[in-house]
Structure 1
Amino acid sequence: MKTSEHKTGNWFVDQLNLYQSANSDSQSLKNNFVIRQGEFRLIIEDLRNKGPQDPLQHELLLGRRGSGKSTLLKRIQIEIDEVLSDQYLAVNLAEEQAGIYRLFDLWEEVLRELSVKWKVTLDLQSFESFDDNQSYTRYLYAEIHQLVQAKQKRIVLLLDNLDRILENFGGEGHLLREILLNDNGLVIIGGSTRMDEQFWKYDQPFYEFFRRHRLEALSSEEIHRLLHHWSEQMELPQLWEFSQKYPGKIETIRLLTDGLPRTLQFFIQILLKDSTLYGFDYLRKVMDNVTPLYQERLNHLPPAHRKIVQEMAFLWEACSVKQLVEKCRMESKLISAHLKQLSNAGIIEVIATSKKNNLYRLSERFFNMWLMITQGNPEQKRRARWLTLFLEAWYDENQWSGLVEEHLQRLSNNELPYDRAIVLTKALAQSKHIGTRERDQMIDLTAALQANPIKNDLLGMPEKFVEIAKTISVLIQEKKYQQAHQLVDGIENEKDGVKFFMKAFLYDEQSMLKESEQYYLQAIAKGHIDSLNNLAILYSEQGRLEESEQYYLQAIAKGDTDSLYNLAHLYNEQGRLEKSEQYYLQAIEKEHTSSLYNLALLYEEQGKQEEAEQYYLQAIAKGNINALYNLAILYLEMNIQKGHAYELIKGLELEDDQVLVLKIVLEVWNNIFNNVDKRVAELAFKADSKDVDFLLRHLLYFEQEQLVLSLFHQEEKGNVLREKYILLYYATLLLTNQVENNLELRIPPEVQSTVEAIVAEVKEKQRFYA
């Protein structure tokens, strides 16, 4: 309640009664009972509608500790006391009834309650006066029946931890069933943390004896309803304001606690008491407070169940029976049986797969975190993946920037102790909300915190992205694409889009263009500029030129220089030469050296030879070898700077046929005949046909007709050369006045004009170079 006399000094604990909510006064409990309404109404209406002789329905409330079983039982008791007291008497034995070991212990407790409630004095026979336990047990129940008959009421026996009580009874369970079946004066409504075999196994006494109510995790709607109620009842408007301002954080708490009301209270309590706590500190504080609850839950499990739960927690991700067999060293059939019991108890979640075998994980993720931190060995604690997932869920993407910036600042200023820094770095570095650069930066800063970091401490540290990228590059070169994809998929960081860019690039390399496009778009959505350029190239190669232009322009707007160059090239191919020139010049302003060469080509194609020369020279100054070659060709075509042209090419040590051909041409142009016959012969019979045609024509331009003719007449391979360049051969014969055997008459008429055009071209060029 809100009055000061009810407070104990801790305002939140006082209002919520964290561990023993069932002990709240009746009015407080009624006021605060806002969830589990469906189960409550179903049970109460069933009791209300029963006539004096109608059979009663025994009820079983199934739920983990903290799910609200005790509160629901107490609420049922209050309703019976206040509304249904003419028909029933509610007997609610305390939650922790460790003294109930045998069935007669239970009946003794019931009789004590009846004597108090009805103010009667019991004169019971002593236990020693009976021959055996069963006789004494039947006698006690007969006494209960007699009292009930006298009052003309029926008893509603509310038993928390019913599973433990029945487990203690052992073989007496059959006697209890017999008594309940033969007498309609008592109904049991019990709470249980597990669906024990006595409730589901057909040869057990209570097989299908109880109607089951599973108290599931609270939904988002129920959580908000509860928070709104708490806010009003405790006059804490900031609680409701927080839930409205940060619905994502409230949903995170719901998922972490699996919607368990009691665990939810720990989160809300600390949240309200210090909402400024650093994410890691907040989580640690919650863990400290929740330890008694979780430790009791763990201790309550049988040893085999405890082992499975712990190993499942350390695995963290959903696991298979096979994995648990390896970790627990138990037979698979035994593991499967235990998993079924744990699932019935709501402790684990079964995940169906497309295959025969299911996967399993702990239902309450915060319980999983707590186990890793409190029960794990040092290596398991250092993994920190649990903290990554909590922080990802707790902070939105905008808040992450501040969180990472703060952590980097603390690392830089050496403000964090090493053990805490390494846990936080591992957690943050494995998050999808940071970029690869930030990942590597915080790993480096953490490693630098101590001069000789302990090797074992660094074992769990994520690998730096730059190292992963090197490995991926090697795999791509070796065309091991599947392995490369696996490495990329393992990169957690998504903020900068690099992961998606690498996926797109891999698919591009595999010519899987649809998949490549998909991942480029994902990377672009993350602001990855290179992906804009690469997607534009992909569209260009597919002939989707308008889309290509669009993405080049977007990349340019983001400051990408390569896209200036590529868009200029696209415009050039489309014949939009003014646009092409414009973007090459913009790229050159950004010091894009390849644009110097391409702009020179553009000018040369337009006949702007002086401009072409200017940009070839600038490209050469930047180390562009192709510009050397092209400028030499330009000089050759213009018949200027022949000495300079030769100097440009002379120093090239490339064993490229195209370069070797040009060297010979420039030497002959400069009247240098250094072993030229032999070198020409070698190239004429092995170089590309286009290069050989270039060589032969320029030898003719420089009046080396006899040299060319000797090649055509070479004994071993001359006939091959003649067949390949027959038109040049006919032209060479005419140029050397080879008129014997009626040469002009032997030239086929369909090529006669072409041969004559070649002869005319050669004579014109001879005059040009004379």
Structure 2
Amino acid sequence: MDKEKYITLSQLGVYNPQRLDDDTVERLFVVRQKFFEFLIKKINKETPNSIPQHYLVIGQRGMGKSTLLKRIEVEFRKEASKFIPLLFPEEQYNLNKLSEFWLNSLDAMADALEVEQKTEEVKLIDSKIKELQTISDEDDLARSAYQFLIKMSQQLKLRPVLLIDNMNFVFDRLDKSEQHTLRSWLMENKAPIVVGASAVEIEETFNYEAPFYDAFQVSHLKKLTFQELIEVLNNLARLTNAKEVLDNIHDEIARLKTIHQLTGGNPRTAVMLFKIIVKGFSKEINDDLEALLDEITPLYKARFEELSTQLQIIVDAVALNWDPINLEQLRNETKLSNGQLSPQLKRLVELGWLEKLDAYKAKGNAYQISERFFNIWFLMRRSSRRQKKELYCLSKFLETFYGDDINDVAKKSISLKSKNVNQITYKLALAEVTTDEELKRKLYDSCDIDIREQAKTNPIVFEDFGKYITQISNKNKGNKISRIEEEYLEKIKNDAENYFNWFRLGYFYHEKGEIEKAKIAFIKSSELDNNIDATWNNLGIIYTNEGNGEKAKECLEKAININRNNGMTYINIGINYLYNLYEYAKAEKAFLKAIDLGTRTSSLFNVLGNLYQDYLREYSKSEKAYKIALQINDTEIYSVKYNLVFLYRDKMNKQKEAEELFSTLIINKDLKDSYWLNKSLFELYKKNQGTASEFLLKALNIINNKLPTNTQDDWFRFAGVTLKQGFGKWLLEILKENDFDIILAPYYVAIKAILEKDTEGYLNSKALEIREPAKKIVEIIQNSNI
């Protein structure tokens, strides 16, 4: 087997994919694969004499338009292709008339043939171009150049596909009569097929009276989803042989979600982010954000300086405002009149710098920077200290909002008895990553008991895990684990077709927290034997933790179809429906099925109680679930009681029961903020706003600059109850007076949005980076309320 050829970091094209060789382009192209396949399939259906369908791809800068065109060129350059791809330069600065468009097309054809080493054809084209340039009549020159392009295509028996970046540039340079002529020629039989790309909508393609109305099939390149970003990073890690990155990616999911939110899902930024990850994540997310901003500075600085002075003034005002800015605000900031602003704003929208939105509580439009990471870059380079603080606080908030408190998860797992090796492995994985030494010890002790119990009927369990537990306990993990890994790899080398060898390797990597390796091993195991429920269950857990709900659902359904009596699988299904797919009725059904099968843990009944309280609003069922959880009486006891207090006091109007239950609680070190939040709410019910304020400030001082994951639901419930009781403005005032309108900006904005008559309009008046998490919080708060 040939040794895999890896790509160097310097080969990762950020600005100019044209410089990459065909093999590198093909291997790196993962982001827009489905859309690429769609285009190739459609173009391949064209017959030599057909009237062609033309295509226009719209996407903001950095969304992968240039890379897509380059990938199409590589595909059509393959031997079996019936097309000749003509890839134009990104900027056709010499284009000012129709004849230049066709002469540029001939140049692109010569370039394509030169790559194929067809020197005679290249000489013929170069000679013809010189001859054509002697024609003085512009119409004759354009027609002759076009006809020669068609003639050469027929001789080559290859139909031209014109790959044109910045298609809007072409329309800007051609007058209406030339556009009409160009359209008529492009609608002829045998005409070249155009695949254009643009950062902005092109009016000539959608204006009913314009020459190119309805001439293109228009598609939009949307920002990368978080799952697509992870796919890109994983692919780049494999292609560059950066094995350590595969583990870092899964260890830093919360941080990556934050950066994804701030960078706007931009593929170009994803490549830059990967180069930073290779060097290792910093201690603080803000350091990673700074490194990413430094990486992109040359591009943004050069692009901004290309603008005229007046355009720079407008972009400066819009970017520094961060939130969408209306015309009146722009006039005040730029000191420009309406007559000066209107044409410049139109130009900036056409160039892709700005986006228009409806203004909130003002006439006309509001404007925001279209490429959101440019706005972040501009704020960090140009803004006041306060604005930088806002950005840093936002990044910390987002990192927490999208993260998981692994210690909290670990606590819930200590008392759960493992019924199979899958559950043992999950505990071991938690023990590996938890930062609390006492928790770590308890998890290992729990696993040791479970392993010995399992070994009574399945000795291989002790063989696989018993030694590992001992090694961890003795803190001699490094070399011994390496030897175990070598043993597993040796077994695979000797018998690579044995599913269990891959299955066991997957467990081993899962224990170490090397999730990507674990995933690869489990997938290989499933390919060798797809009838093992534990394999699919493990994959389902991995995808659930990644937030990939659909993939998790697919794997867990396979697991349950193989073994319908595994309660833990049903719990995993319920968790995926609840937290990833938001299908609450299906989550309930899965949890109840797990209970029917005899799976009865405090954590299961607690999450079921939360489902009934916050989403299904079936309060008697919620109360019953919490009470069962308390009867089981494991480490969940405090969080269960807090949930039940919220239920009694705020949903069921059982004030006495709520107060009696709350009186049994002491200030638990991990739930201190919940304690003071509840104290504050009890005072609000008595209209004691002063005392309530004191307790709320204690809670705020405990959380410092983020909402802890283990008590987030309590903060959202607190907001919901406060709003319901009519103390929304009181809450906002306290948050603002203590700078928490900045520190917890999305939380603050969500509460304020609910108080506004036009909630959606208010949210749309805020910066996208705050708007999106705020919208999610609004939904959560409203769900938690009656």
Please, what TM-score do these two structures have when normalized by structure 1?
0.48
Please, what TM-score do these two structures have when normalized by structure 2?
0.47
**Higher relative contact order, chain-length normalized (CA < 8 Å, sep 6+):** 2
